[in-house]
Structure 1
């Protein structure tokens, strides 16, 4: 159900869904809709108070999406070729990890909502976002190196970034450029 609260004369509309959740959850979709999920036992007053407490976050997120939607991202690769591009980069990066005892992983491709890739070290699976077609090759190389590094370090500790720097010394610059691209 659509609800709304006023903040500084501006109405913030949100879609409220009651679910079996422990906390009040807030999500902002790329189209600018604000989604709130809450337990049925939470009063409307508490939900409105929650939305108002997150007003600065909501404002910034909506601004970000407004700017992102205004300029469509440049497409560097066709959708039917991005899988081959990523696979070739995986083959290029793999020898470094093979020396460290990493078996060649199963590579999967999907449209991911909130990340460029994921690694499941125990299953030996790397999943890459098809939307990497909107990223320049150096950013794709960074994502591949980043995900492969998770086979050596499952977390994002300082050791992880030391390992990543061996394969991708300029990872910080590449990551910065990648963050400028919206994947929504």
Structure 2
């Protein structure tokens, strides 16, 4: 049984998530503990899936390019990420510019909660999530390629995917690994 943390807020719906092996519940202020536990019990199967997803996301925590770092200190880890990621990204952007003829006017490294990257084609800007540097280089390349192709194609349609596969034949399998 996982620990449960309940936070009552001025919201309309209950939100259940799993982080670091803890069930975190945000719920309306008026809900009773019995109601909350009843909803948790009804959703055990979904919560188990969330737990597995959470563990998979933690798999690369405190890694640099897929290899475990000798430290778990968050501040130190972030400093390493900020120092090392630009070096790798410069090479990857250059590699795919030579292959595709596409490249951003500018790229930025940002902390993002959900996405690996974002692209703003009209501004020629690509943002890359700082956390991508936890992943192996091949996965980082897939993120960069994905965002570069967005400079040409806005939607994730067949044309977009085939364009990605033209430059990285195993693109789909690498992208699946990124979702774990």
Q: Is the 8 A contact 1:19 1:37 kept in 2?
A: no
* Secondary structure of 2:4's aligned partner: strand
Higher normalized helix content (fraction of residues) = 2
Aligned to 2:15: 25
* Secondary structure of 2:113's aligned partner: coil
Unaligned runs of 5+ in 1: 1-9
Unaligned runs of 5+ in 2: 68-79
User: Is the counterpart of residue 39 in structure 1 residue 42 in structure 2?
Assistant: no
* Secondary structure of 2:64's aligned partner: coil
User: Is the counterpart of residue 60 in structure 1 residue 38 in structure 2?
Assistant: no
TM-score (norm 1): 0.70
Aligned to 1:75: 64
* Secondary structure of 1:38's aligned partner: strand
Residue deviations 1:5-44 (CA, integer Å, cap 9, x gap): xxxxx47623223133x43222222x22222223345565
Separation of aligned partners in 1, 2:47 and 2:27: 17
Separation of aligned partners in 1, 2:2 and 2:57: 22
Give the aligned length.
Answer: 165
* Secondary structure of 2:155's aligned partner: coil
* Secondary structure of 2:84's aligned partner: helix
* Secondary structure of 2:112's aligned partner: coil
TM-score (norm 2): 0.71
Question: Judging changes above 3 Å, is the alpha-carbon distance between structure 1 residues 136 and 37 closer, same or farther for their aligned structure 2 residues?
Answer: same
Separation of aligned partners in 2, 1:41 and 1:123: 46
Aligned to 2:96: 93
Q: Is the 8 A contact 1:117 1:128 kept in 2?
A: yes
